[in-house]
Chain A
Amino acid sequence: KNEVEQSPQNLTAQEGEFITINCSYSVGISALHWLQQHPGGGIVSLFMLSSGKKKHGRLIATINIQEKHSSLHITASHPRDSAVYICAGASGSRLTFGEGTQLTVNP
């Protein structure tokens, strides 16, 4: 069983919809990273959080340490948000990655 579980695996939305991607993690993970991978493969770090909530533009990330759960929200989704979103748990010197969520936003 992976230490980091993401859901859903695939998500299709219409432009403008509110998107939520969920991530659950196991004991021993002290921080959560959210990454975005574009079709060409390039990866961009979106957030790193160990408590509370962070916001950047239309993206919001939250983490609940007691429940070992994090969510990534996208407000007013746009086709350019289409990508794979990956959560990764930090434990010691290593990151453990979820399988990723393929998001497709249709115009």
Chain B
Amino acid sequence: SQTIHQWPATLVQPVGSPLSLECTVEGTSNPNLYWYRQAAGRGLQLLFYSVGIGQISSEVPQNLSASRPQDRQFILSSKKLLLSDSGFYLCAWSVGWSGAKNEQFFGPGTRLTVL
């Protein structure tokens, strides 16, 4: 069966520090991968999606970046965190490529607090 892992589960970082959140998927090949953020009291927002190794699409301009060094690994990074980067970060995957019409499976999330 397929599983999706995210770590860390929670993270407290000072403003200006770097960030690296990791997401890995098991039990499937060539998944579509997504990074979402949920700011406090707000809805989910798509940050990045990837259809293959090294292929990243950015949805919103920000100081975050994403990379996909392996088929089932998706990394969200920042060189210098801002207060506004605080939120709940979710990784998700889906099978196949018919856009977002395929069911997406979400990871457990990382709660990031920037102080």
Q: Which residues of A contact B (CB under 8 A)?
A: 2, 30-31, 33, 35, 41-45, 48, 50, 86, 88, 90-100
Q: Which secondary structure dominates chain B's binding surface?
A: strand
Q: Which residues of B contact A (CB under 8 A)?
A: 32, 38, 42-46, 49, 51, 57, 59, 88, 90, 92, 99-106, 108-109, 111
CA distance A61 to B95 in the complex (A): 22
Contact yes or no, A91 B100, CB < 8 A = yes
A-B contact count (CB 8 A): 64
Chain A residues whose CB sits within 8 angstroms of the CB of B109 once the complex forms: 41-43
The 8 Å CB contact of A92, one of B51, B99, B104, B106, is B99
CA distance A90 to B104 in the complex (A): 11
Q: Which residue of B lies closest to A93 (CB)?
A: B99
A sample of 5 cross-chain residue pairs with beta-carbon separation below 8 angstroms, ordered by A number, consists of: A33-B103, A42-B108, A90-B101, A93-B100, A94-B46
Chain B residues whose CB sits within 8 angstroms of the CB of A91 once the complex forms: 99-100
Chain B residues whose CB sits within 8 angstroms of the CB of A95 once the complex forms: 44, 46, 100, 104
The 8 Å CB contact of A45, one of B59, B90, B105, B108, is B105
CA distance A30 to B51 in the complex (A): 20
Contact yes or no, A90 B45, CB < 8 A = no
Chain B residues whose CB sits within 8 angstroms of the CB of A44 once the complex forms: 106
Contact yes or no, B42 A31, CB < 8 A = no
Q: Which secondary structure dominates chain A's binding surface?
A: strand
Chain A residues whose CB sits within 8 angstroms of the CB of B111 once the complex forms: 41
Q: Which residue of B lies closest to A95 (CB)?
A: B100
CA distance A86 to B38 in the complex (A): 12
CA distance A92 to B99 in the complex (A): 5
Contact yes or no, B103 A48, CB < 8 A = yes
Contact yes or no, A86 B101, CB < 8 A = no
Contact yes or no, A30 B101, CB < 8 A = yes
Please give 19 more A-B residue pairs, beta carbons under 8 A apart, in addition to A41-B38, A93-B99, A95-B100: A30-B101, A31-B101, A35-B106, A41-B90, A48-B102, A50-B101, A86-B44, A90-B101, A91-B99, A91-B100, A92-B99, A93-B100, A94-B46, A94-B99, A94-B100, A95-B104, A96-B46, A97-B43, A98-B43
